[in-house]
Amino acid sequence: MLVLGIDPGSRHTGYGLIEVADDGEAVEEYGVMHLDDLDTHELRLKAIYDRVLDLIERCKPDECAIEMPVYGRNPQSMLKLGRAQAAAMLPLLNRGLPVTQYTPKEVKKAVTGNGNATKKQVWYMVRSILTITPDDPELGLDASDALAVALCHAHRHTGADDAGSHYSDWSSFARSNPDRIS
Strand ranges (E), 35-102: 63-67, 99-102
Q: How far apart are CA 152 and CA 134, in angstroms?
A: 21
Q: Which of 25, 63, 106, 142 is catalytic?
A: 142
67 is annotated as an active-site residue: yes
Global pTM value:
0.83
39 is annotated as an active-site residue: no
Burial class (CB in 10 A: 0-12, 13-18, 19+), 26: exposed
Q: Which of 7, 106, 145, 162 is catalytic?
A: 7
Strand 63-67 and strand 2-7: pairing? parallel
Tens of pLDDT, residue by residue over 90-116, are 999 999 999 999 999 999 999 999 999
Q: Which residues of the chain have pLDDT under 50?
A: 160-168
| Domain architecture of the chain: domains with CATH | 2-180 (3.30.420.10)
Q: Which of 25, 63, 67, 106 is catalytic?
A: 67
Residues pairing with 32 in the sheet: 14
Sign (positive or negative) of CA dihedral 178, 170, 164, 78? negative
Report the pLDDT value the prediction gives residue 140, as an integer from 0 to 100. 85
Q: How far apart are CA 145 and CA 54, in angstroms?
A: 20
Report the pLDDT value the prediction gives residue 74, as an integer from 0 to 100. 85
Report the pLDDT value the prediction gives residue 160, as an integer from 0 to 100. 46
169 is annotated as an active-site residue: no
Q: How far is CA 36 from CA 24, 39, 44, 97, 100, in A?
A: 35, 8, 8, 28, 27
Report the pLDDT value the prediction gives residue 162, as an integer from 0 to 100. 38
